[in-house]
Structure 1
Amino acid sequence: MNVQVDTPISVPGIGKIIEQRNNKFIKRGFDFKIMVVGASGLGKTTFMNTLFSYHLKDVDHQKPVLEKGKTVEIKEHSFEIKMRLTIVDTPGFGDRVNNDQCWEPIVNYIKKQYEDYLITESSVDRPFHFADKRVHLVLYFIAPTGHSLKPIDIIAMKNISEHANVVPIIAKSDHLTSEERESFKQRIKKEMAFNEIKLYPFDFPNENSVEELALNSKIRSFIPFAVVGSERFVLGNGNNKAGHGRKTRFGIINIEDETHCEFVPLKSFIMETHLQDLIDTTSKLHYENYRRHVLSSEDVK
């Protein structure tokens, strides 16, 4: 006899099953790959060090990474920080006189990770667990000009967002006053909407709860996140608390103070509320689109 239950029921011991699953997940670990895209001089390395409270710079960063006339390079740097974290840098992006198609190496790299994953996934003797080298998040750094997005920013984000989760951030936002920052953010929002740039997070009404949809809406209200990166600890004075930040001739910039920048909401968004969703969205949306396109093309042949 088949019985269909339309209302949720409480199953004794279900909490233990969830605990077992979580323990296995923690023991096995997981992969998370972030790609940072933006012109030189926007503090990408410093920001990533700040984001993970870890010194991610290695010897490769000490050497010139772009020779005159070369195109965008792709550099991977892997670290173990409770997860297998990979930072993908893109030195040379936007640094040439002619930046036509400079986003192509980035898109090609993202698609190559999908290709490798599909090959491994489809192999007869595939391993039970294999590394997930797909790009789960692209942080796109925007220069704090206070004016509008550059044409390269618009077309690059539009192309990259077709293949990965893109979150734009205004780098070195302390170069702007509070009024300039807010005006710049609103102008960027309008430009991204006008150019139909698909930014993360995405809503899936059939899967997301009301709380998750509300959280996504809150995250979108921040985008683009206005951030400041600093590995230095500064002592506060007056109403300023001690924390990571920078001393300027105008006072102390505390990156952990939400009135100074949006570093804390961004870190919480990536590391606390949306980490698993970034991985799931990469798999269910972007990789699945790639997989469907490849398999359908093979069927045509």
Structure 2
Amino acid sequence: MSDSVVDLRPVKPAPSPASMEKPSVDFSYVGIDAILEQMRRKAMKQGFELNIMVVGQSGLGKSTLMNTLFKSKVSRRTGLGSADERIPKTVEIKSISHEIEEKGVRMKLTVIDTPGFGDHINNENCWQPIMRFINEQYEQYLQEEININRKTRIPDSRVHCCIYFIPPTGHSLRPLDVEFMRRLSKVVNIVPVIAKADTLTLEERDFFKNKIREELQANDIDVYPQKEFDEDAEDRAINERIRGMVPFAVVGSDQECQVNGRRLLGRKTKWGTIEVENIAHCEFAYLRDLLIRSHMQNIKDITSSIHYEGYRVRRLNECNAQTNGFDEQDVTSHEL
């Protein structure tokens, strides 16, 4: 008798014709949302540019604050050498550019310092070199833009934001502060900050901030974010909260400290450690979020569409007026 093997495994049913069909396709999908990924890839290849100007008298911690913002040595201290070398005879403009990369995102950061501003007995018209520099960057961009064979991507050296450092007097703005912000707010985004805010008590700080806001309003000074550029109700609500904190009371430090086993940026004093990123100690975190994490692109957009556009219109009108003047002279001379 031959042995026979019985297969006890369950017999799989034959697949039905319906199950052999291809997965259903959403014929209503076009793929418009893929534009976001395309824009992201292009932006990652090109990288980003950000140009920040810092203005304030010597000793207010401008370089330290910039190094703290970007956690890199992006700005150098100018208080070196003898007293005569430390204070320039006139306001100078010094630019330092760096390539910064974080999680694959590349950015060319340019920090523009203004040593000599507000350091003299007579500070009359000390804002003029700064105003001239800002307009020169607009002019340089304009000339590249109107070239017949212009570059595919014009290098952007325009000043996107000016951080103005207010001394922590605790009383009121100086006439120099008022005049500078009144003039420069028309050509650049200004973000005022109270420097070295750890020298003020909490009561002094709140009083000083309220006083500054009153003086800005009384002198018709629009600092960033400006009310007229709020695009919708959501932007208005966010920007109103920011306007309620301006000027930011900040403390800068590029030195690491250890507090309760944690490493953080701060300043050690005999009374304790001032934690730079602790909102209970200062408003550095709010300033960083505004400049980098939430409003960087908006700052650049306003520079391009408002401040630069205003300069471009003025310059083209001047050129047209000169051209028309020459034409009228030619017609008059021909008639004579």
Taking structure 1 as the reference length, the TM-score comes to: 0.91
- Residue 200 (str. 1) matches residue 224 (str. 2): yes
User: Which segments of 5 or more consecutive residues in structure 1 lack a partner in the other structure?
Assistant: 1-9
Residues 222-276 of structure 1: CA distance to partner in whole angstroms, max 9, x if unpaired?
Answer: 1000000001112225xx9652111112221101110100001110111111000
Q: Offset at 1:12?
A: 3.2
Matched, 1:233 2:256: yes
Question: CA offset at residue 97 of structure 1?
Answer: 1.1
- Map of 1:250 onto structure 2: 271
Q: Which residue of 1 aligns with 2:52?
A: 34
Q: Distance in 2 between matches of 1:195 and 1:256?
A: 32
Which SS does the other structure have where 1:235 is aligned? Answer: strand
Deviations 1:63-84 (A, max 9, x none): 6795667110000000011211
Aligned pair count reads 289
Number of the residue aligned with 1:12: 30
Which residue number corresponds to residue 287 of structure 1? Answer: 308
Please say if residues 37 and 93 of structure 1, whose CA atoms lie closer than 8 Å, have aligned partners that are also in contact.
yes
Q: Partner of 1:125: helix, strand, or coil?
A: coil
Alpha carbons 2:88, 2:115 under 8 Å: kept: no
1:77: which partner in 2?
96
Identify if the C-alpha distance between structure 1 residues 135 and 210 changes in structure 2 by more than 3 Å, giving closer, same or farther.
same
| Distance verdict in 2 for CA 1:142–1:235, change over 3 Å | same
Q: State whether residues 66 and 73 of structure 1, in contact with CA within 8 Å, keep that contact through their aligned partners in structure 2.
A: no
Mapped partners of 1:149, 1:128: distance in 2: 45
Q: Which range moved further: 181-190 or 246-255? A: 246-255
Q: Deviations over 1:92-130 (max 9, x none)?
A: 000111100000000000000000000000011111012
Confirm or deny that 1:99 pairs with 2:123.
yes
Deviation at 1:169, TM superposition (A): 0.2
2:247 equivalent among 211, 221, 224: 224
Stretch moving more, 66-75 or 42-51: 66-75
Residues 25-49 of structure 1: per-residue CA shift (max 9 Å, x gap): 1211121100000000000001100
Choose 98-107 or 24-33, whichever is displaced more. Answer: 24-33
Query: Does residue 187 of structure 2 align to residue 163 of structure 1?
Result: yes
Q: Which has the higher contact order (CA 8 A, sep 6+)?
A: 1
Amino acid at match of 2:91: V
What percent identity do the matched residue pairs reach? 46
For residue 234 of structure 2, what is the aligned residue in structure 1?
A: 211
Q: Scaled by the length of structure 2, what TM-score is found?
A: 0.82
1:22 counterpart = 2:45:
no
Greater radius of gyration (CA): 2
The 1:153–1:204 alpha-carbon spacing in structure 2 relative to 1, beyond 3 Å, is closer
Distance 1:247 1:208, change over 3 A: same
In 2: Cα distance, 1:270 partner to 1:63 partner:
32
Structure-2 change in CA distance of 1:131 and 1:102 (3 Å): same
Tell me how far apart the structure 2 counterparts of residues 167 and 146 of structure 1 sit (CA, whole Å): 18
Equivalence for 2:282: 261
Please give the alpha-carbon distance, in whole angstroms, between the structure 1 residues aligned to 2:81 and 2:99.
23
Aligned runs of 1:170-209 on 2, under 5 Å?
Answer: 170-204=194-228, 208-209=231-232
| 8 A contact 1:46–1:231 mirrored in 2 | yes
Indicate the SS of the match to 2:244. Answer: helix
Q: Is the 8 A contact 1:235 1:241 kept in 2?
A: yes
Three-state SS of the structure 1 residue aligned to 2:280 is: coil
Whole-angstrom CA distance in 2 between matches of 1:11 and 1:99: 64
Deviations 1:9-36 (A, max 9, x none): x973122111101210121112110000
CA contact (8 A) 2:80 2:86 kept: no
Distance 1:59 1:200, change over 3 A: closer
Distance 1:149 1:59, change over 3 A: closer
> Do the aligned residues in 1 keep the contact of 2:51 with 2:110 (CA within 8 Å)?
yes
- Determine the structure 1 residue equivalent to 2:16: none
Supply the AA of the counterpart residue of 1:52: F
